[in-house]
Amino acid sequence: AKQDGGNTLRFFAPEMQAHTRRSLELASGLKHATAHGELFLVFQPQCALDSGALTGAEALLRWRHPQWGLVSPAEFIPIAEQSGTIVAIDLWVLEHAALQLRAWDAQGLPELVVAVNVSAAQFGRPQFVEEVLATLQRVGVAPQRIEMELTEAVALKQPEQAEITIRKLHAAGFRVALDDFGTGYSSMSYLKRYAIDKLKIDQSFVRDLAEQGSDQAIVTAIIRMAQSLGLRTIAEGVETAEQAQLLQAYGCDEMQGYWYSRPLEPQAFAAFAQRHRSS
Ligand code: C2E
Ligand code: CA
Ligand code: CA
Ligand code: CA
């Protein structure tokens, strides 16, 4: 196959090699990223659509690589999932989100809930719930302050096991949100079976909300379904006032997106929270 690849191969090979080299170096770099202090969290504010009050934040992971600078989680999370380092990284995220909550509490910020992303590899571990509880206990933060964001892919990989794990999370006091909702294959029956609190409407439905009738139909259907199941809704990727107004009119509870705020480093988040205190 090498020979008959001919010019095509010669044309693409260097680029592919560079890509593979970067992936390999990222994979090995990730093993030390936590110990070397290269990872940090940013926090994106979430707000109530009716009052505009700050309701919480999503913790989003950032990696400052010594050579390549800031690497996007969209690139390194899949690599961490393939190499298995994601389990340690997810726990690092939970611990540091909890440490940040304690620091904000000490600064007198209003008590917020922080959402963290849970990967399939972490969620599928038999000791998952015990591990996260032990981590929070060590830091001294109650599970009520943490929202676990699962994707449909994560939740539906092993539906029976997922149902049990979500119940355990709930019993321990965590909130559970279904992330990127509408992009997977979830059915009404799963939504009813799982002890989910919140649906996060995927940003792909929000992006063209003002222009696309089909997106309006999908988003209103999701909100109506959530309401009839007693679930809260949050729209992600809200970038314009028009999108926020439409979502509010549809009865969506909360929003997250650049229009309200970009993800912020802890200091900037604290300042934002002080400005957006509900009086
Ligand atoms: P996600 O969970 O769907 O996170 C939302 C992404 O949308 C974030 O990208 C956020 O910065 C971005 N975003 C927020 N508002 C807007 C907006 O108004 N417009 C647009 N265009 N984008 C917006 P980010 O931080 O690059 O993260 C990408 C993905 O990486 C996340 O998607 C999540 O799947 C994964 N990820 C991030 N942090 C973690 C983590 O700590 N653990 C795990 N397992 N995955 C993570
Ligand atoms: Ca998320
Ligand atoms: Ca999402
Ligand atoms: Ca996403």
Element (DSSP H or E) covering residue 118 = none
Ligand 1 contact, 88 CB (< 6 A): no
Instruction: Count the helices and strands in the chain (H runs, E runs).
Output: 12, 9
Cβ partners under 8 Å of residue 242, min gap 6:
209, 210
Ligand of minimum distance to the alpha carbon of 43: 1
Structure tokens at 217: 């139909």
DSSP string, 163-223: HHHHHHHHHHT-EEEEEEETSS---HHHHHHS---EEEE-HHHHTTTTT-HHHHHHHHHHH
Residue-wise pLDDT tens digits, 158-176? 888 999 999 999 999 999 9
Would you call 168 exposed, middle or buried from its count of C-beta atoms within 10 A (0-12, 13-18, 19+)? Answer: middle
Q: Using CA atoms, how far apart are residues 164 and 103, in angstroms rounded to an integer?
A: 33
Residue 218 Cα to ligand 2 middle (Å): 20
| Direct distance between the N- and C-terminal alpha carbons of the chain, in angstroms, rounded to an integer | 69
Task: Name the 3-class secondary structure at 236.
Answer: strand
Ranges of residues in the chain whose predicted pLDDT is under 70: 1-13, 15-16, 186-187, 278-279
Looking at all shown ligands, the one closest to residue 61's CA atom is 1
Which ligand 1 atom is nearest residue 77's CA?
Answer: 45
CA dihedral 33, 258, 56, 175 (to 10 degrees): -70
Q: What is the number of the ligand closest to the CA of 201?
A: 3
Residue whose CA is closest, atom 17 of ligand 1?
A: 237
Taking alpha carbons only, the member of 212, 215, 208, 199 closest to residue 252 is: 199
- Please give the distance, rounded to the nearest whole angstrom, from the Cα atom of residue 200 to the centre of ligand 3: 7
pLDDT the model gives residue 278: 62
What is the Å distance from ligand 3's center to 9 Cα? 37
Q: Which pLDDT does position 5 carry in this prediction?
A: 46
Nearest CA to ligand 1 atom 43: 117
Ligand 1 contact, 41 CB (< 6 A): no
Ligand 1 atom at minimal distance to the Cα of residue 202: 3
Residue nearest to atom 42 of ligand 1 (CA): 117
CA of 181 to the centre of ligand 3 (A): 8
The confidence score (pLDDT) of residue 152 equals: 84
Burial of 160: CB neighbours in 10 Å, binned 0-12, 13-18, 19+: exposed
Question: Ligand 4 center to residue 202 CA distance, Å?
Answer: 7
**Residue 117 β-bridge partners:** 149
